[in-house]
Amino acid sequence: MPEMDPVRQGTVLAFDFGVKRIGVAVGEWALCQAHALTTIRSEANAERFSRIGALIDEWKPVCLVVGRPVALDGTPHEMTARCTRFANQLRGRFGLPVEYADERLSSAEAEERLRETGHTAKSAKEHLDALAAQIILQGFFERFS
């Protein structure tokens, strides 16, 4: 997959796509700093895209970033195809550039960070997906800085 050179100014929204939940993070190119934003908890596409549309209206991003899951050795798997479909739907519905970012081990890193800050497994679940999206977006910024 060829790397694009993204627009490097303005707001960026990032997504950690999952079948049941989508973590969302926001960041600004000027600062190259990502922040966990929210988690969309729905399996219904209409509700998911309605919530994403509201976030796009609120934050006015210049581009979107989708974490692309692959195996540790870099080979694609079932979720890779689902994420590609999600990214294509974002591009088609909202007319914004969509970039991919490597999300390998982002959820494991998010779990570790939450554990280090005293969260139990149950309390961590509330924040896990948004934090994983933050880690994905931060890695994306670092790739281009």
Output the pLDDT for position 75. 81
* Residue that the structure tokens 């309390």 belong to: 123
Residue 91 belongs to some domain of the structure: yes
Domain at 59, CATH number: 3.30.420.140
> Residue 37: which H helix or E strand, with range?
strand 33-41
Domain count, the chain: 1
**pLDDT score for 25:** 97
Instruction: Identify the domain containing residue 127 by its residue range.
Output: 11-144
Tokens of 79: 């979720």
Domain annotation covers residue 6: no
Identity of the residue numbered 97: P
Q: What is the pLDDT of residue 3?
A: 47
Block mean pLDDT (10 aa), the chain, length 145: 61 94 95 94 92 98 92 81 94 96 70 67 70 92 84
Give Cβ neighbours of residue 143 (< 8 Å, ≥ 6 apart). Answer: 101
Instruction: Please give the pLDDT value at position 78.
Output: 86
Q: What does the angle CA 101 – CA 64 – CA 3 come to, to the nearest 5 degrees?
A: 45
Residue 3 covered by a domain: no
